[in-house]
Structure 1
């Protein structure tokens, strides 16, 4: 297997480059590339490591013939076209936790700076003024801090605020009651938070639901003198509305590290009384820069070398421990899906994957994605387990999973049922001695290994069929590698799965279909 190649297109810590090399990944550092320069070389690489400068847009992704993973050293992936990457089967990873403490500390620092008017007091004092009476601050002790977003960074802010003996209330639709107790916060609705908070700090992604979550209307529902801190994403707060309320004195002060337009060379908030601005410094500490660089190098190396998926935005996560256990089952799911996909000739409406036995206790999301990729590959050659779930959703294919701890015969069994306008077809497989095998087709038991090329024949179980089939294959100089049979009972429905060394011609398959008692014959490729 050739050594994977990664292009480091933005500046990363030298320690990250060392990790790639130590893990057995060839890393080229080429920073400051123009888009044209990047387009010319991107097809040479299996991985692309970026920060925020390099734009992995749809053109770059289209040109990346061999790219398997894009790693963003940091949280925001605005510079990566995730839908384009997904449709091409490229995993997009970020490092959401490497700068969490740094960002949380910046929010706390901004809160202190606002409460004690530190920037203005510094400018005044260094100008030779001694304006003790002008800068009357407020204590944070016993104040109510309103968290909008109580995820990783919000949770760290809550912990620090509890240490300051503040009262913390949190609005987050995904925050469970148990997690709220663990964080030491009171879970509230947004209206309640707006009414109660002395200080509001935001720690949520920018989505259609969170855009302008602090609109002018919502800001007017806050306490007079409230302080607003945003170290998360520009666009969470209505900048025009906030400026109006700062000027009116309803909002006592605001501190922003992020803006709708960045770099923010000018902004409606600049110059407002008690407004503090920093240039998106949330992740800007030496420790955070080192952490995210090391994390992205580890994550990309793990994926390229073992298939482990960590912090992916468009693919199920697979830990390094899980990857070797899942590998044979991923192979089974994909091949079984490919079997199913090649056995249907009309539009797929639904796919159900059932897991029985030990496999039901594994992380089945990657297996389901692999099965979907197999089912759809006959229609879409370029699909893989990264792109398959999104493509299935776009095409209106209903996907369902079921799990059962016990399997009557096998330690583990995977069954794929495909629904089309013609009805349902079901196929089951298992892993034996680390090898995927087909164990059930059309309700008939058999035990067949997958071969690169296989003949599937459905016939009535009558004497002479096997001899006639063998004679046709011999006449066509097609060698039989494996031969496996299943049937309902003597004289009834039967199937033959034949692994062959040569690809049968269409003419040969037509002759097989013309044999007495044959209902169906087709070539399957894996």
Structure 2
């Protein structure tokens, strides 16, 4: 059955056509995003949800979205999506961070120039028949210092444009490396240094608990007298009341905001302030940007729903369309290794160590580790997938370690998963053969080769004559058919492992009788 997507906001018709052309069922209902009750009623029937900013994907919506696999935001900001709840439900949240970057950066530069030269007020005055040249004395930007709070994709474009306008650019961004700063031609500084050195401060950072009100009364007090503040990023980055006070007092010579704490902003404390320039969240509002982000989100959602490729996800490792087919069998292997270990683990898990050797070490190991965690946690928590597994592991204090190394031993490439519990360490290793099928190649240090079927019987025992015959008789007597039989041991008479694929579930009384044999240590029925 083809996946089904709901578009609940206004999106380009070309984006709707992309879904149809790629074989995805799509319902284009651009008014539903504003109707919370209607969205709640119908969301359970969709695998994907494509939105802009009008749709609020709350915990209530996510709880009702039984089939939902992916939420695609046409644009950058995802503060209208409860990402934490989506992640816990295993729903990928993706955005389009590059489609409107240039448009938003250009708007910031436009707002900077507008407030520096008081263009909106001068326009209104002139069209009212006045000629107030003396009233609208402006400020040049050439030679002035611009402070960027956030120097990511959009911030770096603003920096390039500002440098072209002969401005000196400072940047505060914890993720900006010294090498990147040099390449951009900006000076990396701390926030306080940026505030007291900048003639213009422009905000280009996401809204998080750390960045909320990053420009408050204390921050404004550290700014130069007569500085300008521009916010074309997210409402809430600046304390609107504090900005109004600073404009009224003349501490700030001007401010230009495209975004507000409450939108649509039909009224706001900043409205009517001296030299305050505002626009109704137009940062991404050009025909080029609207088309770009709509097409991008449609392609990204189709790539995931049809091919398993993940791009620009905020809660899942990226998997390109090119690497998805190559990665898929190793994802399956990692999940099987995790499931194998998880079903055998009976005490609290403290940590896991995943070792990647050979060619697989060059792959997207973050995705593979997520798959291993999915397999490991599923027997314990049931509803787990590659999106939710890492956060669920973190919540439970499970430490995760990755090791990459070159080829070792007889196999060209393999994955070894070691689970650390309160009582012991248990390791299991596997590889993918040329047929693309995962194989177990080692359990607890004992070499063996086994393909995992839907029903498996796992037995550890002392290597004693007659046990295999006894096992075969016990299973045969109880109509349990053996599909494959795999053995391994450390040496004659020592520890041995038996991994048997059977055609159906083994009855509990059969398991109990096998476990009662004196030289048997553990008997487990496994499902894959």
TM over 0.5: yes
Tell me the TM-score normalised to structure 1 length. Answer: 0.98
In 2, are the aligned partners of 1:6 and 1:47 still within 8 Å (CA)?
yes
Task: Show the counterpart of 1:504.
Answer: 506
TM-superposition CA deviations, 1:289-315 (whole Å, max 9, x none): 111110110000000111111111111
1:21 Cα offset (Å) = 1.4
Task: Show the counterpart of 2:27.
Answer: 28
Instruction: Rate the CA distance shift 1:41–1:244 in 2: closer, same or farther, 3 A.
Output: closer
Task: Show the counterpart of 1:513.
Answer: 515
Stretches of structure 2 that go unaligned for 5 or more consecutive residues are: none
Task: Show the counterpart of 1:419.
Answer: 420
Secondary structure (helix, strand or coil) at the match of 1:220 reads helix
TM-superposition CA deviations, 1:458-517 (whole Å, max 9, x none): 111111111110111111111111111000001111001000111111111112112342
TM-superposition CA deviations, 1:103-147 (whole Å, max 9, x none): 111100001101111001101111111111221111111111111
Q: State how many pairs are aligned.
A: 525
Secondary structure (helix, strand or coil) at the match of 2:222 reads coil
Secondary structure (helix, strand or coil) at the match of 1:377 reads helix
Tell me the TM-score normalised to structure 2 length. Answer: 0.98
Task: Show the counterpart of 1:157.
Answer: 158
Task: Show the counterpart of 1:357.
Answer: 358
Task: Show the counterpart of 2:452.
Answer: 450
Name the CA distance, whole Å, in 2 between partners of 1:41 and 1:261: 27
Single out whichever of 409-418 and 486-495 deviates more from structure 2.
409-418
Single out whichever of 330-339 and 273-282 deviates more from structure 2.
273-282
Name the CA distance, whole Å, in 1 between partners of 2:174 and 2:81: 27
Task: Show the counterpart of 1:147.
Answer: 148
Superposition pairs of residues 102-181 of structure 1, within 5 angstroms: 102-181=103-182
Name the CA distance, whole Å, in 2 between partners of 1:165 and 1:39: 52
Task: Show the counterpart of 1:471.
Answer: 473
Name the CA distance, whole Å, in 1 between partners of 2:275 and 2:25: 51
Cα RMSD for the two superposed structures: 1.2
In 2, are the aligned partners of 1:142 and 1:167 still within 8 Å (CA)?
yes
Name the CA distance, whole Å, in 2 between partners of 1:29 and 1:215: 41
Task: Show the counterpart of 2:367.
Answer: 366
Single out whichever of 332-341 and 83-92 deviates more from structure 2.
83-92
Name the CA distance, whole Å, in 1 between partners of 2:221 and 2:63: 47
Task: Show the counterpart of 2:14.
Answer: 15
Secondary structure (helix, strand or coil) at the match of 1:241 reads helix
In 1, are the aligned partners of 2:116 and 2:140 still within 8 Å (CA)?
yes
Instruction: Rate the CA distance shift 1:12–1:524 in 2: closer, same or farther, 3 A.
Output: same
Single out whichever of 94-103 and 238-247 deviates more from structure 2.
238-247
In 1, are the aligned partners of 2:234 and 2:259 still within 8 Å (CA)?
yes
Name the CA distance, whole Å, in 1 between partners of 2:59 and 2:223: 42
Aligned residue among 478, 484, 487 for 2:486: 484
Task: Show the counterpart of 1:391.
Answer: 392
Name the CA distance, whole Å, in 1 between partners of 2:172 and 2:386: 35
In 1, are the aligned partners of 2:9 and 2:54 still within 8 Å (CA)?
yes
Secondary structure (helix, strand or coil) at the match of 1:419 reads strand
